[in-house]
Amino acid sequence: MSETIENRLSNLGITLPVAAAPAANYVPFVRSGNLLFPSGQLPLKDGKLAVAGLLGRDVDTAAGKEAAKLCAINILAQAKAALGDLEKIRRIVKINVFVASAPDFNEQHLVANGASDLLAEALGERGRHARAAVGMAALPLNAAVEIDAVIEVE
């Protein structure tokens, strides 16, 4: 029997948090047919923003990668809330990684690796995805990173 996503996360020392509730007039996810669209997730840990500021000014690339990893964990928490079971994920189709960046910061792709690596480790081949990594002037709550996703589900 193959290893489950939950087992892989546990082996990585990761326990999924309770999925964050919406902070405004939107829903935490939308399912349309066999696609799940979680709303953008911030680098929250224990319910609090864990990494704030601009990459290249307030935050270094390593901390940005950790922020992206936290966003990916929160995407999986939303997927579990939506589906009840992470094994219903067929694949991560695409992630969009928004990186709050100082004007001269150009390592958004390296920051995005924090999320991409975690998703591949946790989901195996199902976690390999297309992505965009873009610099932003600012993000909500002064978050360093925000990520949304498109997930194919059963």
Q: pLDDT per residue over 94-130, tens digit each?
A: 999 999 999 999 999 999 999 999 999 999 999 999 9
**3-state SS, residue 116:** helix
CB 38 within 8 A of CB 83: no
CB 28 within 8 A of CB 77: no
CB 108 within 8 A of CB 97: yes
Tell me what pLDDT residue 23 has. Answer: 85
Tell me what pLDDT residue 17 has. Answer: 97
Task: Tell me how far apart the alpha carbons of residues 142 and 69 are, in angstroms, rounded to a whole number.
Answer: 17
Per-residue pLDDT, averaged over 6-23, amounts to 94
Residue 1 has pLDDT above 80, yes or no: no
- Mean pLDDT, the chain, rounded, equals 97
Q: Which domains does the chain have, with CATH numbers?
A: 5-14+36-153 (3.30.1330.40)
Residue 28 has pLDDT above 70, yes or no: yes
Please provide residue 97's backbone torsions phi and psi, each rounded to the nearest 5 degrees. -110, 115
Encode pLDDT of 56-96 as tens digits: 999 999 999 999 999 999 999 999 999 999 999 999 999 99
Q: What whole-number percentage of the chain has pLDDT above 70?
A: 99
Q: Which residues contact 145 (CB under 8 A, 6 or more apart)?
A: 42, 43, 51, 64, 67, 68, 71, 97, 98, 99, 100, 111, 139
Residue 137 has pLDDT above 50, yes or no: yes
Q: What whole-number percentage of the chain has pLDDT above 90?
A: 97
Per-residue pLDDT, averaged over 122-142, amounts to 98
